[in-house]
Structure 1
Amino acid sequence: MSADPQTPLRADAQRNRDQIIAAARAIFAEHGPEVPMEEIARAAGVGVGTLYRRFPDREALIRAVAVDNFTRVRDDARAASAEEPTCWSALVRLLYQSVDLQLSIQLAMLSIRAYEILREDPTIVALREDLLTEVESLVTGAQQEGHLRTDVGAGDVAMLFALLLRRIPSRKKHIAEMSTARNVAIMIDGLQSHPGTELPGHPLGRDDIH
């Protein structure tokens, strides 16, 4: 069994764990979550035994990568909120830099196993709620500033971002990355407070996207 994630690790054990998660993040993003564990161990520069001591099965590793991703994005949201001069600029910064969220979304959408893990794990659910709280605060603040159109909610922003981050496959990595950046820019323009098209229905809140 893996060690309790709340238990402090020795420096070498923590380094091994960090290397494994970093390698898994990169491999999952490129090839999906079903890559052989041996390949992940090799990319991390550790033995297979070391990998299995930290993560006894693929599910544990997928969960750790997802927790790492959502923690990074939540921390990015908090940093943007604290450091940017307006809620709108903080929201724009978050949308552009949340590459980590892209992997979690891809895992959830492209792998049934990963989707079940992300949906049911209490730590991931709590991190997701924390992130939605941060986004909701930025959305409300940007609307009060007059920068963000008033007929959208935090759920709309989250759903738009999730759709855009399903990067279209391309043989050329830089084309795929550029496509994502361009689509985010188009989305940001559409969210600004001078809309040209009336939206049907009602603004989506956090409860609408559960």
Structure 2
Amino acid sequence: MRADARRNRERILAAALELFAEREPCVPMEDIARAAGVGVGTLYRHFPDRAELVEEIGADALRGLNAFVRERSAGDAPRWEVLRRVVEYCAGRPFALIKKLAEDGGTGRPERRALQRECGALLAGLVADAQREGTLRRDVTPSEVVDLLGVVVCRPGARADDPLTTVMMDGLRARTPHG
């Protein structure tokens, strides 16, 4: 892809993400093109329809999350700290949109479904590591923790410091006999 075409695509994705966050995914495609500073024809050359645009936003967000989890998990930081940073990373990203895609019955592109499975496996591995480390409760399974993370961080307005996220993290933290 040519450099200018790549820049246009990135601007379209960024504009769509911003507008979707403000007004939901029903934003007219013309508004997205205008916000990106491109013509409607350019938008449609990159994304023939809204579903394709939303799918790409979801896949892009999942690629970023998977890379973030892999990168942070490769270091020596305590696993609880890595999990906390993952939750912080998720704030402000379009995970509510991705969850809505799945709930609306859309099967999605195979790439997005594969990225979601990879994400679940990476997070379950991180949770299991935190449990072995003794920093995350052992009375919930890694898949249950991943499901809980999905409920809390995959909602509109989720933030790392909001009350629901704070309560979830406090509840998952292993307690020492004196803590």
TM-score (norm 1): 0.75
Pairing partner for 1:115 from 66, 82, 104? 104
d(CA) in 1 for partners of 2:46 and 2:97? 24
* Cα displacement (A) at 1:53: 0.6
Residue identity matched to 2:144: D
Whether 2:118 is the aligned partner of 1:137: answer: no
In 2, Cα distance between equivalents of 1:74 and 1:115: 23
- Which residue of 56, 60, 72 maps to 1:68? 60
Q: Deviations over 1:73-126 (max 9, x none)?
A: 11121122124512111111101221355x2324533x68x8344x33210111
Unaligned 5+ segments in structure 1 are 1-8, 168-175, 196-210
Structure 1 partner of 2:95: 104
- Correspondence 1:152 to 2:140: yes
Q: Counterparts of 2:54 and 2:105 in 1: how far apart (Å)?
A: 11
The alignment yields a C-alpha RMSD, in angstroms, of 2.3
Aligned residue for 2:71, secondary structure, equals helix
Give the Cα separation in 2 of the matches to 1:27 and 1:91: 29
Q: How does 1:10-89 map to 2 (within 5 A)?
A: 10-83=2-75, 85-89=77-81
Do the aligned residues in 1 keep the contact of 2:19 with 2:27 (CA within 8 Å)?
yes
Contact 1:84 1:90 (8 Å CA) reproduced: no
Contact 1:69 1:100 in 2 (8 A): no
Question: TM-score under structure 2 normalisation?
Answer: 0.87
Gaps of 5+ in 2: none
Contact 1:139/1:154 (<8 A) preserved: yes
Aligned to 1:208: none
Residue aligned with 1:120, SS:
coil
Residues 41-50 or 181-190, more deviating: 181-190
1:189 aligns with: 170
